[in-house]
Structure 1
Amino acid sequence: DDIVLSTSSTCDSYLWVGPGGSSIATLLNPLLNTTANTTTIPSGDVAYAGGSWSVICVSPDGCESDLSIPIDITINTPPDTAVANSNSPVCVGDDILLSSNSIPGATYEWSGTNGYFSSTQNPVITNAQLNDAATYSVTITLNGCSTGSVVPASVTVSAPPTVPNPTSNSPVCEGDTLWLFSGTTASTYAWTGPGGFFSTQDTAFIANADSTNSGFYNLVITIGGCTSPVGQVEVDIIPTSYVPQIWATSDTICDGLILELQTDGFVGLNAEYIWYGPSGLLDTTSNPTYIDPNITVADSGEYFVQVLIGSCLSLPSQVALIDVNPIPATPDITFTSPICEGEVILLATNTLANGYDWVGPNGFNSDLQNPDAINPATLIDAGSYSLAVTIDGCQSADSVINITINPTPVTPIILSNSPICEGDSLIIYTTNSASEYLWTLPNLTTISQTEDSLIITPSVVADSGMYGLQLVEAGCPSETVFTDVMIQDLSSSQPFAGLDFVVCDGETVLNLSAENNGTGIWSTLSTANIITPSNHQTLVTNLEQDSSYAFIWTLMNGVCGNIGSDTIDIYIAANPIANSDSLTISSGTEELIEILLNDSIPLSVNYNLLDAPQYGTAAVLNNGISYTTSSSQTSDAFIYELCLDACPSMCDTALVTIDIAPYLNAPDLITPNGDGTNDAFVIQGIENFPNNQLQIYNRWGNEIFYIENYQNDWTGEFNNQELPVGTYYYVFISQDTGELIINGYITLQR
């Protein structure tokens, strides 16, 4: 290896001093006098040596430093040449043994051209395969130095020979020569067989063979040092006294079935089996089986066989006695069909036999001559039933019958128009279909008909009771169902709810009491709550004052309908409310005050003066209170009382306040024609309003007259011109208060 020296110092040049010293001649070696801070000395250079090495740093002006602290360099000697050895060649499945020369303290690295690697000195590759064939090399390392020369080992892995397929001339007769043939070319042959037989020939033989030589012979061959698996051949030595065995699958057979005879078989290709029966020679077969596909009763008797192997004919076998029995006649079956669902299936036969085999639907089977009854029969029990009988081991053909089971009709739905009223038609019917309807009346008599309804008209009360119905299909009846029929007689009672009345004094609960002459019910369209509607006497709640209620009592007669209804009207009275009145009446006049116009009166009322007026006079009239003013008064008042006629205790009072206005009256017609009557527009009482204002307008709203402090002197003129005949509108105002005193229309005629 190269010696590589380096320093971390920075110098102009470097003098490298080793075991050769620092003489001028020595330092002339360019590898020892460098400008770089590192130098490499190869192994062939004169300066290449192990030992102590130092460096001198030279400055640019040629000054040299002292020697550096030295380092020791050791040069180790590499190991000898590495030689790889193996046990090649090997066979597939063997172990490959690799080895190398031994150097104490060294390490080893094996590699193969197939990617193999190992760090063991003498590695072993177990169970070698064909892909383990390769060139294997080893590198030996000692003190960090590896061998420079390597001698590899080439390993060959051979496949074993295929399994040999030996043959023979078997079967052979006793005393003949048995030949064994390898059928392949190999390096070696190894035969083994019965009785300790062994041979290394490719073709082996046994002269004068006997029965002890029968059996299996094994052959193993080697090729290229590899041993094959074991090949095998079976050999039969036929003794001249051989007696074959014969047997049948059954020695009792039924007519028309298959007869099968068998004997021992042989491996030999030329074995023949000669079969004999009651009629002589039957057949010669190449396999140890004889079959007669259709045996008959006439074929009963003795059977035997002989075996011919090559030229070896065996002795006759023992005799097989075959008995062929006739097939029994088809049995008879007694049964009943059709039947109804739920009835009993009875099966029987008159045929006598050793055994019985009944088979039918729904998993039915029996081995009895007369099977147990199927009770109750269901729809899945319908279908084909078969019977086969067995006599002397032979079974008859099936006797087949078919049993029909008619389903039970569905349980009917029975309906009616009950309850009904006497005299109506009673109709009892079903929604189910059937071919026959069987009706049962209350007196237990029955009626059969094809219609799905039973009508009794006119009905009477005696027709009430239980009615039954069965559906019938194909003679099968359904379950009977019943319905209860009610026929009600007529009634002549009439309802009476009571007399109308008013509830006074704020009561919100009342009692209703209808005439108790039958079953009835109270009802109302209002929000009132009738506590017991079906009772002719009941409380009613949830009533409100000032509300009217109508309660209806309906008398019922069951299914004969409602007999009739009667209504009672009830008013829950509220107190009347009398509101105060205030009005103005002209002085010196009489006026009717309609006091009820602004009062709240739910019912008819009566009224009277409770406190009379102080100045004027008041009189109670049918349509109000009449009031007459007195002279020189300006106001007055009185109090009246208002009471309900139906509830005299429910009253209210109100105050009537009267202002007395000065008297004022304007005409509605003037005729200014100079006759002294109505010639001017004269307002009576104008003296009560001396500070006044009068305005007159035509029909188009144009003011045609205006005056302050009017003196009753307008005669139908405007700007001193007579106005045309027509209707005019006037407004009379108090200038003191600005109040409108009077207004209206006036007609002008001439």
Structure 2
Amino acid sequence: MRLRLLIILLCITTVQPLFAQDPFVGGYLQLSKVSGTTNQFQLTVHLYISLHNATNQADLASGALTKDLRAKVFRKRDNVDVTTNIDASGVIDFTGGSSTSIDLNYPNNCNIGTLKSKDLVLGKNITLDFTQLSAPDGYYVIVERCCRSSQLVNIANPSSTSLILYLFFTNAITQTPVFQEAQGSFYCLNQVNFVNLPVINSNGTSTEYSFEPLYKGLSSPSSPLVLPQLASPKEVTWLSGYSTSSPIASSIPIVLSNAGTVQFQPNKEGLYAMKIMATQKIGGNIISQAQVEYDVLVKDCKEVEKPRIYIEGSANTAHTNTITLCQRSYRVLETQANPNATYQWYYNGNPLSGATTNKLRINDDVTGDYRVEIKDPTATCKPTETSLLTRVIGAGGVGLSLAPSLGTTICEDIAPGTITPSISGANPADFSYDWTLDNFTLTSNREAAYDRSGVYRLVITQKASPFCTFDASVNIAVNPLPQVSVQNISNKTEVCEGEVVTLKADVNTGTTWLWQKDGANFSSDQTINITQSGNYQLQATSDKGCKKNAPEVVIRVYPKPTVTFAPIPSFCEAKNLSTDLSIYVTPVSSNAGVFSGKGMTGSVFDPSKAGSGVWPIVYEYTSADGCKNSATSNAVVDRVPRVQLGEDITIFRGQQVQIPVVGSQGSGYSFTWSPTTGLLNPTDFSPTAAPISHQEYTLEVVANTSRCKASDKINVFVYPKIDIPNSFTPNGDRINDTWELDGIDEYPNIEVKIYNRWGNEIFYSKGYSQPFDGIQEGQRIPTGTYYYVIKPNVNLPALTGYVTVVK
């Protein structure tokens, strides 16, 4: 009867993501019959776990990577789930099964650091009753677990693809292929490498090897696995340049030998996933097949160079076994420099504290054996190396000292000084000289000049054997001069008396200062106000005692000129009395002196332009040094007094009249009447006049301050008095029959008019040679009162009144 093959599908599931997304870097399945039994087998899962991060290490320790690990079994012919024939629960659960953890070894002592991994082995005893599991096509097994390492460089989205491992067998098996542990997962770049994955064959079996596709399951970091029928798993997506039979970037064709060895020469660093299937046969018939998925890590393998000890600066950098060290001298041991390395020097087998660079200075009191250890973390295959021993032996020596000519602390303005070496116990000509300043080459002369701060070091070396080197150093401080400048706040160096020049010291922080005037100490204030001529200088002193002077500032203070302005006589407003005021000032200069004020044109004052008032006139004089001074005098312009006497006055002799006056009066004025004849009160401003004859009067008004005058005249005409009777009796008795007017003799042209009560003129006479007799047109006028108008002459006013006619 034809042998039927069975393949068992084992699917691992989780309820939720319990660990990092990329802990798995390979693995395989293995089935073996339990010794002494008929149908008991142990199903074993090998899971290669990446320990590249702390999460994976913690999950491995806690058991999270194996929690809820389960399997189902399917018949190959029709993919029917037959798990209940193996376990009544319908699920093969690895919980409670056996587990071990095996560290993977690395070739050539290479250290891959945090990328190392472990082989997690889990076993579960199951019963395979081949009387029930008798399908002629057999059964197949698949192991799935999420997820692959995210560091894989040959497939797309590795951290989101689950790992699937295949195993199939027949009822003829006692043990499926067991892969030997690969000798590490670290392989060197650009070298021919071999990954050895042979299987251990049981008696009578043979094995063939082939590359197999990488499959991806249905589980993901965020979705639990549902165990389905799985007829043909899906292959992963290979990145460009990679495939099932070419899973590694290699400079030579990748070869899988009949012994299970993969040969390749990687030309690119990275982590590569590949799968190899071992087919087990008896007599040419396949009885089982097992697939191992394996991640190959390729790195640039480096080995640290073995250190050599030689004298610093030596042209020969080969290792030196013996070095002579003179008394009071030194040597600097050196080994090759490596920027990636750390160093540790040893003296007579003991580590030297602080000796952790590629150079070591030794003095004459520490002769003995020296070696150096170097560690280079980038040399992944051999990061640590130790040198051979170098023995240091002693010899005689000399004394060396240094003497700076100006001392060790100086100010830069007295530099340079000279450092002279003193050598005792040897001839100075037997040495070469090398001076450095702060480790920079300075000179090879015997003496060295110094003008900068720093450590001046002299190394002398014997020109003959044993070529000992001695050194001495001196720390020189050349202190800079302080920064100092004068800030002229006023921006002036020449001023006039009364003005101030302000200077401010501008110096470094921590600097003191001192002002000097004409060489003598003047002030320690930062800001000074200068009112006197002189040469001013600022001296600054640093905190190190170094002094520096700012450029001298010459200040000139010129005196103001003396200016006088005598009192100006008063002016009358109405009079055009322009006056040149230069006669009142000193010094007089048409160019250097300037008048200003109301009414001034040049040096001439015009009172009519100024108007009345008190006007300050300023005379400003500018000296030849440009200094100005001024004096002021008041120009008083007074109004001309006003006086008006009006029209001439006519009176009759014996009458008196008050002369009307309009004009200036009061305390500011005085007045005089002339003549005083006929004036009853001549001291009055408006006096009463009673002259007996014609008189012309003059009134003069004088302003008391300015003596401005004004006058006016008035005539008082005096005429004889006319006596006019107020009644007469024209009755023919020759007594008072006519209206007689006495005193009209001096009025030959006198006019007399008489009016009745109705305003009718009843009498007119010019000259009044015939007095009025009360007759009108031959008839006596009626008794009554009549109105008269008498005009003595053209200069006198008319005399009017009433006369009564009585019969």
Global fold match (TM > 0.5): no
Relative contact order higher in (CA < 8 Å, ≥ 6 apart): 2
What is the TM-score when the length of structure 1 is the normalising length? 0.34
